[in-house]
Structure 1
Amino acid sequence: MKKIIGFVLAFSTVPSLAFGNWFATQKSSGRSPTRASALGDPICEYYQVDVPTSQAGPPKQTISVEDLTPMLKELLKDSGMKNGVINVISRHTTTAVTINERESRLARDLEETFLAMVPADERSHPAVAKEGNRYQHNDIDQRPESEEEAQRCRDNAWDIDNPKELQRWRDQEPINAHSHLISMLLGSSEGIPVMDGRMVIGQWQSVLLVDLDGPRDRTVGVQLLGYLSKE
């Protein structure tokens, strides 16, 4: 184990990286030295990265922003990739990935603006609830509405054919339609070019994970696709 620029870098039998409170597990990797090109040896690696919330307290369906840029820089450095692209994707339906400035007052502006555009349900957490506003997705007692949706619950290990289990599933479902809708507006992924071992982003740009139903610990998927340094 060694320290690199303020982050702890750890290796195990399953390739993984730890950056402070962040933890990345490598899910797949492909390198083919026999298919080298003028750019170098190809690389294709995928990581699932745990993103702990930086905010304290239980979830209250507020909007918060986490900066993924330091973690992405360390993954890129460790991979040895010289040129290519980093793809970042949210693994949740109530988070978004975007590129913009990481600034605390702007983060509060983001929350106020999007909650004004897509206000929360009157049944949502009191911190965000908007009186008189209701969404069909939040009519939990009427879900699942179709056999297809019921099967999706079964596929995710919920025995909803059992009335008690169905009620347990309904009880844990949050009143968060507004979070889903804002996520669709912001988008769930970004691709960042890599040239000469560095992400090609603007001086004030950061790669951000926007939690729209938190604060909660989350995960993102990161794929590095390109070419290693040619020695």
Structure 2
Amino acid sequence: MASYIETLRVRSKERIQVIDITGDVEAIVRRSGISEGICLVHLPHATAALVANENERGLINDIIRKIREEFVREGWEHDRIDDNAYAHLASSFIGPSRAFPVSSGRILRGTWQSILLIELDGPRERNVVVTVVG
């Protein structure tokens, strides 16, 4: 079984921002040379998350709105340390990783599925670890 790992660096500009990394992940899968297997996309960060969903401006705004509604920025115990408890909570519920099947050297995803990094405590640089196994 072959494996390939590459780290993608992504810089956010906003406190909460959704960034489409689909093209970058697909390029890594191509560079891996693996035609059949699994692609794991992972954020080794506690205040960012990953989703697979449509990259449409209205939906992106809705995702950001929902995060702000569900994970308010005040009143959490952790805020005594970093003032970013909402980001830790949102990341915990959304999750830091997504796995995709790889077939014929391409990620299998739905027509409207993009791989979206959700920055929750920006702006900052994030590492996205992409592992392809097959």
- Which band: TM-score by shorter chain? over 0.9
TM-score (structure 1 length as normaliser): 0.56
Aligned sequence identity (%):
34
Correspondence for 1:51 among 10, 19, 25: 10
After alignment, is 100-109 or 82-91 more displaced?
100-109
How many angstroms apart in 1 are the aligned matches of 2:6 and 2:33?
15
Question: Equivalences for 1:119-198 in 2 at 5 Å?
Answer: 119-121=72-74, 134-140=75-81, 174-198=82-106
How many angstroms apart in 2 are the aligned matches of 1:102 and 1:43?
31
Task: Quote how far apart the aligned CAs of 1:75 are.
Answer: 0.9
**Runs of 5+ unmatched residues, structure 1:** 1-41, 122-133, 141-173, 227-231
Correspondence for 1:222 among 116, 130, 134: 130
Task: Quote how far apart the aligned CAs of 1:215 are.
Answer: 2.7
User: Structure 1: which amino acid aligns with 2:107?
Assistant: M
How many angstroms apart in 2 are the aligned matches of 1:88 and 1:80?
17
User: Structure 2: which amino acid aligns with 1:139?
Assistant: R
Q: 1:100-147 CA distances to partner (integer Å, 9 max, x unpaired)?
A: 0112221111111121111111xxxxxxxxxxxx1111113xxxxxxx
**Runs of 5+ unmatched residues, structure 2:** none
Cα-Cα RMSD: 1.3
SS of corresponding position for 1:81: coil
SS of corresponding position for 1:82: coil
The one of the two structures with greater contact order (alpha-carbon pairs below 8 A, sep at least 6) is: 2
TM-score (structure 2 length as normaliser): 0.93
User: Structure 2: which amino acid aligns with 1:50?
Assistant: R
Runs of 4+, deviation exceeding 4 Å: none
How many angstroms apart in 1 are the aligned matches of 2:121 and 2:61?
15
How many angstroms apart in 1 are the aligned matches of 2:26 and 2:70?
33
Quick check: which has more Rg, 1 or 2? 1
Task: Quote how far apart the aligned CAs of 1:46 are.
Answer: 1.6
